[in-house]
Amino acid sequence: MKIERLELTEVPLRLKFPFRTSFGSVQDRRVLILSMYSGGEVGLAECVAGESPGYSYETTDTAWHVISDFIAPAVVGKEFASAEELLHELRYIRGHNIAVAAVEMAFWDLQARSLGVPLYQLLGGSDRPIPVGISLGIQESVEETVALAADSVEQGYGRVKLKIKPGWDYEPVKAVREAFPDISLTVDANSAYTLIQAPHLKRLDEFGLTYIEQPLAHDDILDHATLQAQIDTPICLDESINSPEDARKALTIGAGKVINLKVGRVRGFRASQAIHDIARSFGAPVWCGGMLECGVGRAANLHLSSLPNFTLPGDTSSGSRYWDQDLINEPLEAVDGVQAIPQHGPGIGVSLNRDYVERVASREAVWGAGR
Ligand code: OSB
Ligand code: MG
């Protein structure tokens, strides 16, 4: 497939509520949408970089820079037979996985649309209901946290994840566990602790959590292995896994037992498939993480989540949870804790609301020939 044209569009999008984690709070998002054209088809992807370098060093602006100044000039006008070939062209770009992934994901969607098949088929998944969980940000009070967890349980979400940080961990988790003794409950620290706090983290063992997500440093696996040996709660790695090699090494040394797979963080679908397979060979389940995506990214995540080793509910909650006005035309709603894989057409199976996107876009860059 020859990449004839690429469009990168930035769209301001306000979350219904501020989302607070151990690394900061966000409400005003700047979502990047990539459109890739070939042979009359257009592939879509969302670039999941955040607005500030809190979760990853990548931001909306670094992704804009790397895509504009390095990736687009290297791929537009060129022919690629596969995602591997595309990735090979970009192999000299160290890091910046979120930027590279956006282009790789648009290529997969373009391929699937050109073949007239749903993306999950190309990825090796199957048409099955996708169990979904919900990620609850840090709240002002324990009462609010319990109330939000109650809403989530009522809506049928199959897992409730609480964001934690030092000073906001044992109490809210205890309160939610007491209110809901039987739900699958997890916590996500986004790297807010160090090994010195291992005895404190061990206290969470009493709540029978499905896992504790990324308690220690974003670039660590060694201390996670030490911690895992001291606590009963399985560790789920998020920030620490940026490649299939990271996954192999982490699982080899016992740094965790579960992986939160985010396509952007690991450089795209090809790497996601590899990490999925490596985790499976270790008997470690994976689940699909979220980056406060709009419908474009969520649709892609749902297709990926259909691969067989995605055995835990993902952070692919309803689009309406975050957005009054999503950027896609079709709703993406969880019903009784399950999302259907969107198949309103081939590829990721949703369509971009181009009228709206063009009306509110804050900037756009274009490479290659006319549409
Ligand atoms: O650590 O999983 C995370 C959001 C932004 C950055 C990092 C994370 C998150 C979430 C939200 O937990 C998941 C979602 O999109 O619903
Ligand atoms: Mg996480």
CA of 223 to the centre of ligand 1 (A): 23
CA of 159 to the centre of ligand 2 (A): 14
pLDDT of residue 203: 98
Tell me what pLDDT residue 369 has: 87
Closest-lying ligand 1 atom to the alpha carbon of residue 260: 2
CB atoms within 10 A of CB 43: 26
- Choose the residue to mutate in 239, 312, 315 for probing ligand 1, maximizing ligand atoms within 8 Å of C-beta: 315
Which one of the ligands is nearest to 54 CA? Answer: 1
Residue pair 317/158 in contact (Cβ under 8 Å)? The answer is no
pLDDT tens figures, 198-235: 999 999 999 999 999 999 999 999 999 999 999 999 99
**What 3 state SS string does the chain have?**
CECCEEEEEEEEEEEEEEEEECCEEEEEEEEEEEEEEECCEEEEEEECCECCCCCCCCEHHHHHHHHHHHHHHHHCCCECCCHHHHHHHCCCCCCCHHHHHHHHHHHHHHHHHHHCCEHHHHHCCCCCCEEECEEECCCCCHHHHHHHHHHHHHHCCCCEEEECECCECHHHHHHHHHHCCCCCEEEECCCCCCHHHHHHHHHHHHHCCCEEECCCCCCCCHHHHHHHHHCCCCEEECCCCCCHHHHHHHHHHCCCCEEEECCCCCCCHHHHHHHHHHHHHCCCCEEECCCCCCHHHHHHHHHHCCCCCECCCECCCCHHHHCCCCCECCCCCCECCEECCCCCCCECCCCECHHHHHHHCCEEEEEECCC
Q: How many angstroms is it from 313 CA to the middle of ligand 1? A: 14
Here the tokens at position 290 are 């979220």
292, 305, 332, best to mutate for ligand 1 pocket (most atoms within 8 Å of CB): 292
The pLDDT, as a whole number, for residue 263 is 98
Quick one: which atom of ligand 1 is closest to the CA of 134? 16
Residues with CB under 5 A from ligand 2 (ion): 188, 213, 238
- Closest residue (by CA) to atom 12 of ligand 1? 135
* Structure tokens given for 42: 């257009």
Q: Tens of pLDDT along 229-264?
A: 999 999 999 999 999 999 999 999 999 999 999 999
Ligand 1 atom 4: the closest Cα is on which residue?
291
Q: Report the alpha-carbon distance of residue 17 to residue 323 in Å, rounded.
A: 9
Q: Which atom of ligand 1 is nearest to 214's Cα?
A: 1
**Ligand 1-lining residues (CB < 6 angstroms):** 55, 135, 188, 190, 238, 289-292, 315, 317
List the pLDDT tens digit at each of the 371 positions of the chain. 999 999 999 999 999 999 999 999 999 999 999 999 999 999 999 999 999 999 999 999 999 999 999 999 999 999 999 999 999 999 999 999 999 999 999 999 999 999 999 999 999 999 999 999 999 999 999 999 999 999 999 999 999 999 999 999 999 999 999 999 999 999 999 999 999 999 999 999 999 999 999 999 999 999 999 999 999 999 999 999 999 999 999 999 999 999 999 999 999 999 999 999 999 999 999 999 999 999 999 999 999 999 999 999 999 999 999 999 999 999 999 999 999 999 999 999 999 999 999 999 999 999 998 76
The closest of 127, 81, 123, 126 to 105, measured between CA atoms, is 123
For ligand 1, atom 5: residue with the closest CA? 291
Nearest CA to ligand 1 atom 7: 291
pLDDT at 10: 98
Q: Which of the residues are catalytic? A: 163, 262
Ligand 1 atom 8: residue of nearest CA: 291
Ligand 1 centre to CA of 78 (Å) is: 34
Centroid of ligand 2 to alpha carbon of 86 (angstroms): 28
